[in-house]
Homo-oligomer: A and B are copies of this chain.
Amino acid sequence: MRIVVVGGGFAGLNFIKSLWAEKDVEIILVDRNNYHFFPPLLYQVSTSFIEASNISHPFRRMFGPQRNVRFHMGTLLEIFPEKNEILTDGGTYAYDMLVLAPGTETNFFGMKNVEEKAWPMKTIDEAQELRNHILLNLERASREKDPKRRERLLNIVISGGGPTGVELAGMLAELGRHIAPREYPDIPDIQKARIYLVDAGKVLLAPMSPKAQEEAYKVLSHLGVQIILNKAVKDYADGVVLLADGSTLETETLIWASGVIAREVPGLPKDVIGRGRRIQVDAFNKVSGMQNVYAIGDACLQTTDPAFPNGHPQVAQVALQQGTLLARNIKRSLRNEPLKPFVYNDKGSMAIISKYKAVADLPKFSFEGFFAWLVWLFIHILPLVGFRNKVQLAFSWMWSFITNNPTLRLILRPLPSQRALDDARKQLQRPDVPVSEPTSRPDAKPVVG
């Protein structure tokens, strides 16, 4: 039996790992990237705290010894359920069983300007691009003579008060406080730079406990983050963010962490697509009305779990558990044993809110502060695939926290072409380009020799 899995995130990868011991099953994973990555730590990549490679692991390295698992790098273009085939940009694959685990993408809620100009943060590439953008803006600010334009380069607006927004705000505030003044002495008013955290709702970390919400608010405020609640971002053009009440914020950096929508799976019948573009599935994660197509993780909508009549939250734990259960049910089916429906076991949720502080909601109680932060570190290192990643991540963290100064602030990007430079040269050789004055006037006498 050949099972094609689309997407190697938490759901897809856990499904494969739980099933690969079953030697009669042939598994093909299709993913756009050649690596699995750990989204909860993306915000640390975009703030130069850790390397992308600390939270990524190549699929082929994981699958190496498993001869019944194959990897195909490619992006899903369409599925053809009637032919039992899928089309990717790398070719067509036939399947006996199809498992859809495509995850979600950033939801811009139809705002074209925001989609074009804001910085999403759902993928490794996006996190790296955001890192480059923030660092480049600091360089631009160091050369900018106009205080107004300089402020706009330095300000950062984060839309979305969920874990990603809160964690980003805390990290950026720490950077702004400890590192920026030391390393950018040529930006005169760097203390005026502001981090704004904007959310349409009444609280930060909406799905968490009131205790966690209050703690996040308190700690971020203390770090100097400007928290703006009850106001949705409505537009973003020419460096100005427009909020729902008509007020505005000026920034060259709007980070969009406001919402997600399931990735589209072209070829699925329209009537199985529910809220948030999620794919309606039964208690065994089979897509409604289909015979051999399944969906797991953030992209599916399962309303059969008594405690979650409106579907599960789109979090890693649900994805991991659904992946495992579907694999086990396939094994049961192969042994003619009865199948088990999915019931989510909520182990709690956490968010890190500053350098040594986190908030945690466990099923029985909530706690916060340094101990929560330690627990957070622990549970974030454990699930990381690969011993090397664990060790290097632990090292990166230790280093960053001990020195208060991570060293990863590298702007890695293709350099401009010679033609672009020639154009720049022509354009800049106008008489109105300001000249930075030397401290002493040049006297053209030899300094040495």
Contacts and interface: CB of A to CB of B under 8 A. Distances in A.
A249 to B, nearest CB: 26
Contacts of A124: 410, 412
A26 B89 contact: no
Nearest to A408: B53
Contacts of A326: 448
Nearest to A85: B435
A244 interface: no
Interface string A62-95: 0111010011110101100000110101111111
Contacts of A61: 183, 405, 407, 409
A425 interface: yes
B428 A87 contact: yes
A96 B443 contact: yes
B292 A445 contact: yes
Given A73-B139, A77-B425, A139-B73, A389 B409 contact: no
Contacts of A64: 182-183
Given A339-B448, A386-B407, 19 more contacts: A2-B440, A33-B410, A53-B408, A60-B183, A73-B139, A77-B421, A89-B421, A90-B139, A91-B143, A94-B436, A94-B438, A95-B438, A97-B447, A282-B449, A284-B448, A286-B446, A291-B446, A292-B446, A329-B448
A1 interface: yes
Interface stretch (A218-226, A252-260, A391-399): A391-399
A56 interface: yes
Interface residues of A, number: 106
B330 A412 contact: no
A123 interface: yes
Given A135-B34, A421-B89, A52 B412 contact: yes
B440 A1 contact: yes
Given A94-B436, A124-B412, A444 B84 contact: yes
Given A34-B410, A58-B410, A78 B448 contact: no
Nearest to A399: B388
A328 to B, nearest CB: 10
Interface string A324-360: 0010011001000001000000000000000000000
A125 interface: yes
